[in-house]
Amino acid sequence: MGAPIILELGGKNPALVSRNANLDEAATGIVRSAFGLQGQKCSACSRVFVEEPVYEELSQKLVKMTENLVIGDPPSGR
């Protein structure tokens, strides 16, 4: 089984998800990479390539996780 890696690819950074991946970990990593730090980092995930046998399950996990993101002004530190 492969190990997770991060590559800076000029703003076209894909996540590759195989049928052997832990889909919970993959979904968490994709959401954190795409939306963490407002996506303003060199290695932010901008696309996902998924093996067909796990596409639907991963898609459902990603939709659920992104629907739960809170968007807006951060809390004040005061």
pLDDT averaged over every residue in the chain:
85
Residue 40: both structure tokens together: 């303003």
Residue 45: both structure tokens together: 């995930």
- Dmax (CA) for the chain in angstroms is 49
Cα separation, 15 vs 50, whole angstroms: 8
Residue 12: the pLDDT is: 73
| Amino acid letter, 49 | F
| Residues found in the chain | 78
Active site residue 45: no
Residue 46: the pLDDT is: 86
Active site residue 8: yes
Segment 21-41 shows an average pLDDT of: 88
Segment 41-66 shows an average pLDDT of: 93
Cα separation, 15 vs 6, whole angstroms: 9
Over 70: is that where the pLDDT of 10 sits? no
Confidence of residue 18 (pLDDT cuts 50, 70, 90): very high
Looking at per-residue pLDDT, the higher value among 11 and 27 belongs to 27
**Catalytically annotated residue among 8, 51, 56, 57:** 8
**Catalytically annotated residue among 25, 42, 56, 57:** 42
pTM value is: 0.77
